[in-house]
């Protein structure tokens, strides 16, 4: 209900004061079967920092790419200063129109110098618009403002640490002196000092009547810098609020919707489900050099959540558990069948530890292969008869998971890409369930997946845990931890910051731990 | 609205083409009909038999190119391995090695060369193009130097008969080498589509990182694929030795780009492990039937090449183009 | 696999890193050292090699190699699997048109012939560029198709070798105004390259070659950059075709196939990564020089010509695998890394 009123407010609010440098109305974009953005509207005023807030997969990045000229919307209108735009067909055109974007990915050309990267795209193909001396001087001026210490401008960017590379992208955008600056999660890789400097610069831009579209996961940043917030949920802009008009808690509710994620909570279920037997243990595992070692024990039948802000080590920790990444120090011991140290992914699977990767497209899905092939690859030896893989056997094995996970698909021999994102994820989950794991590691399995598919995956995870499998799952959605997990491990700066048991895990406490704030009730 | 349904029809056609090389089949039949109509002796037995024999040389040489392209590589050493196989067959035959020994020696050597190609390209992440260019040069140079480019030698009479268009199999009028090609096609088809080896091959080509995470030893796949490529090229070389009767220094040269053309015209894409060997079989037949037609109509070799180039452009235009930059941001 | 070399002991490590870095950044060093060694070896075996009367004609023979290699370079630099297989047949086409079309019809005046041929090369290169940059054909396939078409045209125009009367191109392979004529082909191209490095396009080319997505998202028009790269390659192929005419003084379709793979090999030998975004013209020119010198040395030693192929292949493998080995610290993440 709350979001309905809020949406009504935003729709009704007249653009009273000043110019509207950018108005987005009813923008939608689909990729194949995925609706990335369904109905997004908001307006950006002159001299404001406008935050866009939404879960993973809510369409933020698609919105950014439309603003940046990477994609063209299927429906809807972009207006710049009241003039409808249909010429923004490339990033170059977008930049010319005064919109400059800093993308989530750190987009630098590694072999080129810092100076070249800061000025990337600024020259034409024929003529250089500025002298080398001027470039050098202005680059230094901008970098001086952003960084405590400016590295050699001739240094190839590939030799710089991530934070500096991201700063290079920000500096590149600032040098365009944009009317509208779009920052897509651009602060996540910056170190604290640089981020503070950036905020000072943003304040100046705002004072100078320029506008900023600011996208961040971090509620504290949005509270610090955002004038207004537009909340996106499942590709729809559900509300635009002024600063301070909603508490963090209310914003989270707007982002996630109010319904409970897990349909039936099994409060008492955990006691009988979680067994005494320890299946996986880490001994002095360091995720980063210099970080405190992590010792964790995971029991059969347990649901363990890994949480934290993006890039705080939980991802790496999960990969270490699965033998996919090596720890800086320490070891992972699997105790399903005696004691065995896991040193490789192959090792891990042999011990019954399977890892479901995060990024479907680059790490899981074989786009040119069929549904059945995608399901059966790691376990195909079971379908062999005299060396020949009998696809009927694969199909029979798959059938079990189709029912369990409610996988919707045409035929097993259809391409996996004919399935929706959620169903693709279910096939990948089935792939690894079929390996009969004792420990199932999942890296954000519900990322970009619709709510129905999410429920199916939750239900199966609980069922699997009940049968004695330990489930360790990294999730970027706080609610999943609150409602699903027996125990949540919160990571901060490469260290295990807190271990929160079920019952004590509230949204507030988790989020507080993300930011390293003390829990004060 | 009409554009939507038209779009859907295009999608359905693309889906059909993905499963089944319809365009290629139609093209082959059309070319064949053109031959029958336009050339008096085209559909006679000797003509068809010699087309089949020529197609089987190309087809066998292109097995490896198909496999290697499916995993995202390319093999430029094929012509050199063919030449080496050809020279060694006639030379060693002239030195009274037994046929079995000759074949074993040549194929054994081919395995080593191919495996080295695959290993170097994968392990050091050097484009296969350059590795196979270098290794091919070494192989053919070594064989030419070792044999002093001797083109003298001989092959057993039965073997010459084996590749002759006039040969028969159990009384049937099928050239024996064509039967060999059919057997190879069936075996390769079964291995690629129905065994774990084939699945691993396709998985490696489709998404190497995902394959590695699914416990496929992708380096082994590369080594095996290039080894297979060299073995089939050497086989083609041995067969060509029987065909020519003597060694020829340049016998492999046309196969450098012809094998790639057969794979592409057949409909296997250079991107993302889309395609299979059946298509290359069709591609080989199309190229040979087309060439026979053009020769029959006394088009010069020059015109043949120009037409081949245009056909490649048309074929790749309908499928197998790269993803747009905007989809990769 | 990751970062194994970060803990080299002792003070020497810094120097070692610096040397390794230097080799990584100046990839042509291997070819340069090899070139110097080969020149010494050639002179030792055949003192006449370095005599002033020999040098112009030696350079004349080298010129088509070096130019073919340089012509192959822009496509490779532009990244995305960029490669141009049609350089050699384009050289052949320029050679044939120059001899049979221009010189024999009184259009041989360099002031007319040269601009015409460069234009022809540029147009054909641009066709490649459009196929790759806009229509998104895989470069190997697009240029292979153009290779076939050009090869066919070459064969149609000159099925048999046609020799030519004495003409100005001969001076390019000997001496012109008392200096080796190669100065006016390879020399001019290298000189232009050093000016080219100061242009705006140069930066865009290397940015697109190294990371086309980053360049595109930053507002660089990657399609146009690629089209221009292939066009430049075509223009250079035309220069190579003119230099080729200088040495062979005839129109001969049997000559150009020799340059197809040699050109690519010379590029790789010169240390230019085939993945794009790194390198220049000096490396390919040096690589081509190595190829030529190896050939020259072995024939001077009276060694079977076939060993030239062995030596050449082996040097190529050592160069690329060695280069890859050096670059491993900066390698992209592997499957399960």
The distance between the two most distant Cα atoms of chain C, rounded to a whole number of Å, is: 72
Q: Could you tell me which chains touch chain C, where touching means 3 or more CB pairs under 8 A?
A: A, B
Q: Closest by alpha carbon to B122, among B255, B211, B189?
A: B211
Average pLDDT over residues C257-262: 84
Which chain C positions have a beta carbon within 8 Å of A97's beta carbon? none
C185: buried, middle or exposed (CB in 10 Å: 19+, 13-18, 0-12)?
buried
Which chain C positions have a beta carbon within 8 Å of B270's beta carbon? 138, 140-141
State the SS3 of B232-289. Answer: HHHHHHHHHHHHHCCCCCCCCCCHHHHHHHHHHHHCCCCCCCCCCHHHHHHHHHHHHH
Which chain A positions have a beta carbon within 8 Å of B199's beta carbon? 373, 376-377, 380, 389
CB pairs under 8 A between A and B: 75
pLDDT digits (tens, 9 = 90+) for C39-57: 998 888 888 777 777 778 8
Nearest by CB: B329 against A65, A362, A389: A65
Roughly how many angstroms between the first and final C-alpha of chain C, as a whole number?
Answer: 7
Cα–Cα distance, C306 to B147 (Å, whole number): 10
- A340, A334 contact by CB (below 8 A): yes
pLDDT digits (tens, 9 = 90+) for A273-305: 778 888 999 999 999 888 899 999 999 999 999
ipTM of the complex in this document: 0.85
Chain-chain contact of B302 with C336 (C-beta, under 8 angstroms): no
Cα–Cα distance, A212 to A325 (Å, whole number): 38
Cα–Cα distance, C328 to C5 (Å, whole number): 10
- B153, B96 contact by CB (below 8 A): no
Q: Could you tell me which chains touch chain A, where touching means 3 or more CB pairs under 8 A?
A: B, C
What would the two tokens of residue C68 be? 């073919």
Chain-chain contact of A362 with B209 (C-beta, under 8 angstroms): yes
Residue ranges per domain, chain B? 23-319
Q: Closest by alpha carbon to C209, among C268, C272, C146?
A: C272
Angle at CA of residue B67, ends B62 and B70, nearest 5°: 120
Cβ partners under 8 Å of residue B236, min gap 6: B57, B60, B61, B82, B85, B255
Q: Considering only residues 181 to 220 of chain B, which have any Cβ-Cβ distance to chain C shorter than 8 Å?
A: 208-209, 211-213, 218
- Split at pLDDT 50, 70, 90, the class of C3 is very low
- Split at pLDDT 50, 70, 90, the class of C14 is low
- A271 alpha-carbon distance from chain centroid: 32
Average pLDDT over residues C218-226: 92
Chain-chain contact of B206 with A367 (C-beta, under 8 angstroms): yes
pLDDT digits (tens, 9 = 90+) for C289-303: 998 898 888 888 888
pLDDT exceeds cutoff 70 at A264 = no
Chain-chain contact of B202 with A324 (C-beta, under 8 angstroms): no
Q: What is the DSSP letter of B125?
A: T
Q: Which of A101, A120, A130 to mutate: most C Cβ within 10 Å?
A: A120
- Residue in B with minimal Cα distance to C265: B130
- C142 alpha-carbon distance from chain centroid: 19
pLDDT digits (tens, 9 = 90+) for C116-170: 999 999 999 999 999 999 998 989 889 989 999 999 999 999 888 888 877 787 7
- Split at pLDDT 50, 70, 90, the class of C6 is very low
pLDDT digits (tens, 9 = 90+) for A89-112: 899 999 999 999 998 888 899 888
List phi, psi (to 5°) of A239: -165, 150
Q: What is the pLDDT of residue B94?
A: 77
DSSP A1-57: -HHHHHHHHHHH----SS--SEEEEEEEEEETTEEEEEEEEEEE-TT-EEEEEE-TT
pLDDT digits (tens, 9 = 90+) for A330-364: 999 998 878 889 988 888 988 899 999 987 878 89
Q: Could you tell me which chains touch chain B, where touching means 3 or more CB pairs under 8 A?
A: A, C
DSSP C54-75: THHHHHHHHHHHHHHHHHHHHH
Which chain C positions have a beta carbon within 8 Å of B138's beta carbon? 309-310, 313-314, 317
Which chain C positions have a beta carbon within 8 Å of A129's beta carbon? 200
- Residue in C with minimal Cα distance to A119: C218
- Give the residue carrying structure tokens 């950014």: A64
- CATH number among 1.20.120, 1.10.3470, 2.60.40, 3.30.70, domain B23-319: 1.10.3470
Which chain B positions have a beta carbon within 8 Å of A346's beta carbon? 215
pLDDT exceeds cutoff 90 at A224 = no
Coil/strand/helix, residue A306: strand
pLDDT digits (tens, 9 = 90+) for A462-519: 989 999 999 999 987 777 888 889 999 999 888 898 899 888 888 778 877 877 665 4
Q: How far is A258 from chain B (nearest CA, A)?
A: 33
pLDDT beneath 50, residues of chain B: 1-2
Cβ partners under 8 Å of residue A294, min gap 6: A282, A284, A285, A286, A287, A317, A330, A495, A496
Q: Considering only residues 234 to 263 of chain B, which have any Cβ-Cβ distance to chain C shorter than 8 Å?
A: 257, 260-261
Q: How many CB atoms lie within 10 A of CB C263?
A: 30
Which chain A positions have a beta carbon within 8 Å of C278's beta carbon? 111
Q: What is the pLDDT of residue A5?
A: 41
How many CA atoms does the CB half-sphere of B273 hold within 13 Å?
Answer: 22
- Sheet bearing A470-474, strands edge to edge: A353-356, A439-443, A470-474, A303-307, A487-492, A495-501
- Split at pLDDT 50, 70, 90, the class of A270 is low
Q: How far is C315 from chain B (nearest CA, A)?
A: 8
């Amino acid at each position: 209900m709350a979001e309905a009123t809020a949406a009504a407010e935003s729709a009704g609010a007249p653009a009273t004061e000043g110019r509207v440098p950018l108005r987005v109305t009813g923008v939608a974009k689909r990729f194949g079967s995925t609706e990335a953005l369904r109905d997004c509207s908001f307006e950006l005023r002159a001299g404001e920092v406008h935050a866009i807030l939404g879960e993973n997969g809510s369409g933020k990045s698609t919105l950014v790419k439309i603003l940046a000229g990477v994609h063209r919307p299927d429906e809807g209108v972009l207006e710049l200063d009241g003039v409808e735009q249909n010429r923004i067909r490339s990033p170059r055109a977008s930049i010319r129109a005064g919109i400059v974007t800093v993308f989530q990915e750190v987009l630098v050309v590694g072999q080129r110098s810092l100076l070249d990267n800061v000025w990337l795209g600024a020259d034409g193909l024929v003529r250089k618009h500025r002298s080398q001396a001027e470039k050098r001087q202005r680059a230094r001026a901008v970098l001086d403002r952003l960084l405590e210490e400016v590295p050699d401008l001739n240094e190839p960017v590939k030799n710089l640490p991530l934070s500096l590379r991201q700063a290079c992208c920000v500096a590149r955008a600032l040098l365009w002196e944009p009317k509208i600056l779009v920052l897509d999660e651009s602060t996540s890789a910056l170190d604290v000092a640089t981020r503070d400097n950036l905020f000072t610069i943003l304040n100046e831009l705002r004072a100078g009547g320029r506008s900023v579209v600011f996208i961040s996961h971090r509620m504290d940043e949005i509270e610090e810098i955002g004038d207004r917030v537009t909340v996106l949920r499942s590709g729809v802009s559900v509300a635009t609020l002024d600063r301070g008009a909603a508490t963090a808690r209310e914003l989270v509710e707007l982002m996630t919707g109010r319904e409970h994620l897990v349909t039936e909570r099994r409060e008492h279920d955990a006691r009988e489900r979680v067994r005494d037997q320890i299946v996986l243990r880490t001994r002095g595992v360091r995720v980063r050099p210099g970080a405190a070692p992590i010792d964790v024990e995971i029991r059969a039948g347990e649901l363990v959540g890994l949480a934290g802000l993006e890039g705080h080590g939980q991802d790496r920790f999960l990969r270490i558990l699965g033998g996919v990444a090596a720890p800086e120090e320490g070891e992972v011991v699997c105790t399903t069948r005696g004691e065995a140290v896991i040193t490789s992914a192959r090792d891990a699977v042999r011990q019954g530890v399977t890892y479901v990767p995060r990024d479907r497209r680059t790490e899981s899905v074989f786009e040119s292969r069929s549904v059945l092939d995608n399901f059966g690859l790691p376990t195909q030896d079971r379908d062999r008869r005299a060396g020949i893989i009998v696809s009927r056997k694969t199909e029979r094995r798959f059938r079990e998971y189709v029912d369990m996970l409610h996988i919707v698909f045409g035929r097993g021999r259809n391409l996996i890409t004919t399935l929706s994102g959620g169903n693709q994820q279910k096939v990948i989950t089935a792939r690894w369930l079929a390996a009969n794991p004792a420990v199932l590691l999942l890296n954000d399995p519900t990322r970009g997946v619709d709510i129905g598919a999410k429920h199916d995956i939750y239900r199966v995870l609980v069922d699997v845990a009940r049968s004695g499998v330990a489930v360790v799952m990294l999730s970027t959605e706080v609610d999943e931890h609150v409602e699903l997990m027996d125990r949540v491990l919160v990571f901060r700066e490469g260290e295990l910051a807190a271990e929160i048991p079920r019952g004590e895990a509230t949204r507030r406490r988790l989020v507080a731990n993300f930011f390293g704030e003390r829990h004060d009730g | 609205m009409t554009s939507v349904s038209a779009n859907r029809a295009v999608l359905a056609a693309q889906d059909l083409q993905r499963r089944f090389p319809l365009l290629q089949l139609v093209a082959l039949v059309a070319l064949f009909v053109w031959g029958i109509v336009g050339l008096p002796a085209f559909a006679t037995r000797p003509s068809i038999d010699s087309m089949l024999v020529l197609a089987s040389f190309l087809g066998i040489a292109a097995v490896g190119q198909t496999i290697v392209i499916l995993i995202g590589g390319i093999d430029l050493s094929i012509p050199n391995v063919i030449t080496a196989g050809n020279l060694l067959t006639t030379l060693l035959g002239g030195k009274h090695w037994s046929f079995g020994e000759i074949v074993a020696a040549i194929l054994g050597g081919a395995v080593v060369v191919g495996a080295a190609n695959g290993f170097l390209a994968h392990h050091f992440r050097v484009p296969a193009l350059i590795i196979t260019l270098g290794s091919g040069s070494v192989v053919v140079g070594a064989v030419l130097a070792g044999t002093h480019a001797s083109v003298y030698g001989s092959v057993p009479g039965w073997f010459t008969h084996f590749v002759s268009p006039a040969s028969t199999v159990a009384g049937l009028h099928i050239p024996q080498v064509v039967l060999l090609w059919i057997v190879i096609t069936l075996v390769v088809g079964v291995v690629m589509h129905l065994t774990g080896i084939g699945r691993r091959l396709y998985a490696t080509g489709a998404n190497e990182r995902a394959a590695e995470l699914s416990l496929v030893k992708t380096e082994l796949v590369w080594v095996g694929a290039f080894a297979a490529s060299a073995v089939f090229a050497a086989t083609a070389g041995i067969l060509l030795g029987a065909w020519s009767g003597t060694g020829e220094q340049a016998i492999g040269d046309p196969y450098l780009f012809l094998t790639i053309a057969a794979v592409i015209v057949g409909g296997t894409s250079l991107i993302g492990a889309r395609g299979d060997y059946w298509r290359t079989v069709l591609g080989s037949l199309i190229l040979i039937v087309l060439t026979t037609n053009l020769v029959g109509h006394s088009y010069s070799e020059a015109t043949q090449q120009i037409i081949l180039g245009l056909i490649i452009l048309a074929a790749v235009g309908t499928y197998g183009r790269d993803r747009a930059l905007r989809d990769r941001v | 696999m990751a970062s194994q070399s970060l803990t080299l002991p002792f003070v020497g490590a810094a120097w070692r890193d610096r040397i390794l870095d230097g080799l990584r950044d100046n990839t042509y060093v291997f070819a340069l050292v090899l070139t110097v060694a080969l020149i010494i070896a050639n002179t030792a075996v055949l003192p006449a090699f370095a005599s002033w009367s020999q040098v112009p004609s030696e350079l004349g023979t080298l010129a088509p190699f070096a130019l073919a290699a340089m012509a192959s370079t822009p496509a490779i630099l532009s990244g995305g699997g960029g490669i141009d297989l049609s350089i050699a047949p384009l050289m052949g086409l320029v050679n044939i048109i120059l001899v049979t079309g221009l010189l024999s019809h009184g259009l041989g005046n360099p002031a007319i012939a040269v601009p015409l041929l460069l234009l022809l090369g540029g147009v054909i290169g641009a066709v490649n560029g459009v196929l790759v940059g806009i229509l998104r054909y895989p470069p190997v396939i697009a240029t292979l198709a153009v290779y076939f078409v050009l090869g066919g045209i070459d064969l149609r125009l000159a099925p048999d070798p046609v020799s030519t009367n004495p003409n100005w191109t001969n001076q390019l392979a000997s001496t012109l105004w008392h200096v080796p004529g190669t100065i006016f082909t390879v020399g001019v191209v290298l000189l232009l390259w050093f000016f080219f490095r100061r242009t705006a396009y140069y930066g865009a080319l290397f940015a697109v070659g190294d990371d086309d997505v980053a360049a595109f998202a930053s507002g660089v028009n990657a399609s146009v950059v690629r089209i221009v790269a292939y066009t430049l390659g075509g223009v250079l192929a035309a220069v190579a075709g003119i230099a080729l005419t200088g040495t062979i003084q005839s129109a001969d379709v049997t000559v150009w196939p020799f340059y197809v793979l040699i050109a690519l090999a010379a590029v790789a030998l010169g240390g230019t990564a085939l993945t794009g975004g790194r390198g220049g013209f000096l490396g390919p020119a040096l690589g081509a020089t190595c190829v030529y010198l190896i050939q020259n040395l072995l024939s001077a030693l009276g060694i079977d010509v076939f060993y030239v192929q062995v030596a050449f292949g082996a040097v190529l493998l050592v160069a690329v695998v060695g280069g890859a080995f050096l670059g491993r610290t900066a390698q992209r993440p592997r499957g399960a890394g």
